[in-house]
């Protein structure tokens, strides 16, 4: 069997490694000239880190990542802690796998290293797939004048997926009214101890600000979301203006002002957040989708990459267990659709909850303080490695 994957990002390479783990040959086609990840930090919760550990990547993740002690929510102005929960050893003990913070580029580098070392995985760059041809017994793509045949084609080509457009036509997204900023800050530029070894989210009226360590604690990753209109560029690589970011968070706590002032301006980007509802169907016959291509997720649950990583494990198991490809792909989709829709809808809900004002914000804070310690069990306790029953 040979599987073709359009897209060499985190989701596509993870899927390739999961398939190779099942002794399935894979070809990955990446449109860029190199395998790179735009962006800064990423959170790897236990539901996806267990997949990466299963692939033998634990040592590299520990080398490049950061193990946070917990998650904390704070008031935008006073800095008062609204609520917090433990991660670290508590998460590892409870869920059987750790919670990492890691730079996106570092994670992709770890995955690419493993792919290069696997004889079943072939990587192609400068190889954009824009269309495919499906016959009775295979599916083929033509890239740079060469035709490649496979039993399956997986569209892991992101939020602007060409495979999705070929399958289902162009779908127009909806602007959420939110602009997201992202930046990294050298830890050496900050007062010692100012940033705790946690994922910290500051909630404010119409805005929120998240920060956490990456690069082994040498950098602080910041993601800042603001409700505003008039600029709607959906791109991960659009440079941002530091003065505009300062204006957006004027009046916030002094720690936020310090972080913004120390931001590396060469790594400052902003993008408009667009939303797409859960899709009723992902694939047809020998072609399916994975990750942002079928369930793009707003960054309010830190689960976008996690869902793509879970997808890869479930998809590989389905293909390995059933030689009837259309049946296997339908099984994969049926197993994943409700799970990913749950995260999409939860992220959409959090976009409103984080930005509440007045009495609604007071009620939210009170509820957060009383939240059950098991509130994240459904999310973090999911095991993609056992989701496909024998």
Its CATH architecture, for the domain 2-172+276-380, is: 3-Layer(bba) Sandwich (3.50)
Chain segment 135-171, per-residue pLDDT in tens: 989 999 999 889 999 999 999 998 889 999 999 988 7
Quickly count helices (H) and strands (E) in the chain. 12, 17
In 3D space, the residue among 106, 103, 107, 98 whose CA is nearest the CA of residue 70 turns out to be 98
The answer to whether 103 touches 214, Cβ cutoff 8 Å, is yes
Q: How many whole angstroms separate alpha carbon 3 and alpha carbon 121? A: 10
Return the residue matching tokens 């169907």.
281
In 3D space, the residue among 42, 168, 190 whose CA is nearest the CA of residue 102 turns out to be 42
Q: Active-site positions?
A: 212
The answer to whether 6 touches 157, Cβ cutoff 8 Å, is yes
Q: What is the mean pLDDT of the chain?
A: 92
Q: How many whole angstroms separate alpha carbon 184 and alpha carbon 277? A: 30
The answer to whether 69 touches 86, Cβ cutoff 8 Å, is yes
pLDDT value, residue 321: 93
pLDDT band at 16 (very low <50, low <70, confident <90, very high): very high
- 361 pLDDT more than 70: yes
Joined together, the tokens standing for residue 312 give 């890869």
Q: Domain-by-domain residue ranges, the chain?
A: 2-172+276-380
What's the chain's Rg over C-alpha atoms? 21
Chain segment 21-39, per-residue pLDDT in tens: 999 999 999 998 888 766 6
Q: What is the pTM of this model?
A: 0.94
Q: What is the mean pLDDT of residues 236-256?
A: 89
Return the bridge partners of 43, or none: 101
């Amino acid at each position: 069997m040979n599987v073709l994957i359009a897209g060499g990002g985190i989701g596509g390479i993870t899927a390739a490694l999961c398939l190779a783990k099942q002794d399935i040959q894979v070809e990955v086609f990446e449109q860029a000239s190199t395998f790179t990840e735009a962006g800064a930090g990423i959170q790897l919760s236990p539901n996806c880190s267990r997949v990466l550990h299963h692939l033998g990547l634990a040592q590299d993740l520990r080398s490049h990542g950061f193990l946070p002690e917990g998650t904390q929510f704070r008031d935008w102005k006073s800095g008062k802690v609204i609520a917090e929960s433990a991660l670290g050893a508590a998460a590892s003990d409870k869920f059987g796998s750790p919670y990492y913070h890691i730079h996106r580029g570092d994670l992709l580098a770890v995955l690419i290293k493993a792919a290069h070392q696997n004889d079943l995985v072939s990587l192609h760059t400068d190889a954009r797939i824009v269309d495919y041809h499906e016959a009775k017994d295979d599916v083929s793509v033509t890239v740079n004048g060469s035709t490649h045949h496979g039993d399956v084609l997986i569209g892991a080509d992101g939020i602007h997926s060409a495979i999705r457009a070929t399958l289902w036509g162009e779908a127009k997204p909806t602007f959420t009214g939110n602009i997201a900023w992202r930046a990294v800050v050298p830890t050496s530029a900050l007062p010692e101890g100012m940033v705790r070894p946690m994922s910290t989210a500051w909630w404010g009226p119409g805005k929120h600000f998240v920060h956490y360590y990456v690069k082994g604690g040498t950098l602080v990753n910041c993601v800042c979301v603001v409700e505003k209109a008039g600029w709607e560029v959906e791109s991960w690589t659009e440079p941002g203006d530091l003065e505009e970011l300062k204006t957006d968070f004027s009046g916030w706590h002094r720690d936020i002002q310090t972080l913004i002032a120390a931001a590396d301006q060469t790594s400052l980007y902003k993008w408009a957040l667009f939303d797409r509802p859960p899709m009723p169907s992902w694939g047809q016959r020998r072609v399916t989708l994975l990750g942002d291509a079928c369930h793009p997720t707003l960054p309010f649950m830190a689960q976008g990459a996690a869902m793509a990583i879970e997808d890869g494990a479930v998809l590989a198991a389905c293909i390995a267990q059933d030689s009837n490809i259309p049946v296997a792909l339908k099984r994969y989709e049926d197993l994943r659709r409700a799970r990913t829709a749950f995260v999409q809808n939860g992220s959409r809900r959090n976009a409103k909850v984080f930005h509440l004002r007045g009495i609604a914000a007071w009620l939210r804070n009170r509820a957060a303080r009383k939240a059950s310690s098991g509130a994240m069990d459904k999310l973090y306790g999911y095991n993609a490695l056992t989701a496909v029953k024998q």
